[in-house]
Amino acid sequence: MSRLSVILNKIFKSGEAQAAERAPDVAAKGAASPAAPPAAGASPAETGSAKAAGSAAPPQAGVDVVAVLTAMAAKSGQKLDWKKSIVDLLKLLDLDSSLAARKELASELHYTGDGHDSAAMNIWLHKAVMQKLAENGGKVPDELKH
């Protein structure tokens, strides 16, 4: 499994868990908003067309990436600046944040800059990962992608 796939899975799976935790609250209030993704346990008729239309999409399209990562950071007990640092983002996800691992991720994402300039590579990597999260259905604010 690619390094990017592992990142996507960790964030989107965590987003699914958060949505499942909120599902009883939504049901208790009467209805979900029309833009909300299908609740866990939605009928096949409700989810069938969504699956057919986006089979390549992550399991939970529309995951609020900032909310997921903020919740993870609160639970971690560590002071991590995941909004700016690829190293801290990887640590938050409990992934290898070594230079070798980051170089592998950079290669996977087709980094063309100087591989010896780790500061420039790290900045590029963080933006590239945030962009990939957005491309795969995550809600990511523009300031994290650019």
Exposed e or buried b per residue across 77-112, where buried means at least 16 C-beta atoms within 10 angstroms of its C-beta: eeebebbebbbbbbbbbeeebeeeebeebbeebebe
Looking at residue 18, its pLDDT comes to 65
- pLDDT, one tens digit per residue, over 6-53 is 999 999 987 676 666 655 554 444 444 444 444 444 444 444 433 333
Mean pLDDT of all residues belonging to the chain: 80
pLDDT, residue 10, reads 95
pTM of the model: 0.72
Write the Ramachandran bin of 117: left for phi over 0, alpha for psi from -120 to 50, otherwise beta: beta
Give residue 146's pLDDT.
83
Rounded to a whole number of angstroms, the distance between the first and last alpha carbons of the chain is: 27
Give percent above pLDDT 90 in the chain. 62
When comparing pLDDT for 139 and 34, which is higher? 139
Residue 102 or 24, more confident: 102
d(CA 3, CA 26): 34
Cα–Cα distance measured from residue 82 to residue 70, given in angstroms and rounded to the nearest whole number: 9
Residue 21: its pLDDT value, please?
63
pLDDT band at residue 126 using 50, 70 and 90 as cut-offs: very high
